Structure 1
């Protein structure tokens, strides 16, 4: 039998990247003084993801994904 924490980990993988639209909506919510919790509930994404997007936007001025150059 699986525990609740195991089930959560299985559902929340890193397999998908957020669309530009969703990242923009996170920033829009932030600029409208919505809390991280409210934005998370609205978009159905983890609060840590919302926080990361906002932090990156504040530090780098962009929400674009990184590209690896070899």
Structure 2
């Protein structure tokens, strides 16, 4: 039986990318004054990811991702 504190790599995986819809939802929640903890819990993504999305949006004005090199 797994607990609520499962390993983050099991939940999301390091190679997965947050969808554009979720990134937009993070920004929408942020603009509605939701805390990073609340956003993380609502969308089931790590707090560090939520924070990174918000910081990138504040600095660059976009949530788009750069293409990855293979």
Runs of 4+ in 1 over 3 A off after TM superposition: none
2:18 & 2:9 partners in 1: Cα distance? 18
Residue 53 of structure 2 is matched in structure 1 by 53
Gaps in structure 1 of 5+ consecutive residues = 1-6
2:44 is equivalent to residue 41 of structure 1: no
Equivalences, count:
63
TM-score for the superposition, normalised by structure 1: 0.80
CA RMSD of aligned residues (A): 1.8
Q: Could you say which structure has the larger radius of gyration?
A: 1
